[in-house]
Amino acid sequence: MAPTEKNKAPDSRLRTILIVNDSAYIRRMIRFSLNPDRFRVIEASNEKDALACVATQPADLLIVDSEFPGMDEFRLVRELRLRPESEYLPIIMLSNELGATQRQQARQVGVSAILEKPFLPDQVCGLVEGIFA
């Protein structure tokens, strides 16, 4: 008997994406933008949870917000780059608006791509698909 959607074994070919954002709305919007047949999404609402997720749940891509209360915009990315499990992972940074200097800093700390808010679901898909192409 073929497995149903409900009891189907997880597909090991799914790419895992960790979304790190303090807004449940933004996390949900990104999650619903991604095809569940291609991506497994895990979420973290803060820096501490993000670092714990990376240590315990291997991810293929990180989508992180640039704005967390009490943090500079690149602190989380710098911390992720210091860890062996996330040293080379692609990172998409969400930002309200970055000037040329901030974009250069983002690249220097290891941001792979920047997605400016507000964004459309198709923009999320296109950026993620482009990274995995």
pLDDT digits (tens, 9 = 90+) for 52-105: 999 999 899 999 998 776 667 788 999 999 999 999 999 999 988 778 888 899
Query: Is the pLDDT at 8 greater than 80, yes or no?
Result: no
Tell the residue number behind the tokens 């749940």, with chain if given. 57
**Nearest in space to 31 (alpha carbons), one of 42, 47, 45, 15:** 42
Token pair listed for 124: 């999320």
Alpha-carbon distance of 58 to 16, in angstroms, equals 7
At 1, the pLDDT band (50, 70, 90 cuts) reads: very low
Q: What is the pTM of this model?
A: 0.86
Measure Cα distances from 15 to 18, 92, 128, 132 in Å.
Answer: 10, 15, 10, 9
List pLDDT tens digits, range 10-53.
556 799 999 999 999 999 999 999 999 999 999 999 999 999 99
Question: Residue ranges of the domains in the chain?
Answer: 15-132
Q: What is the pLDDT of residue 14?
A: 92
The more confident residue out of 111 and 4 is 111
Range 121-130 average pLDDT: 95
Instruction: Centre a 10 Å sphere on the Cβ of residue 13 and count the other Cβ atoms it contains.
Output: 7
> Which CATH number fits the domain 15-132, given the four candidates 3.40.50.300, 3.40.50.2300, 3.40.50.2000, 3.40.120.10?
3.40.50.2300
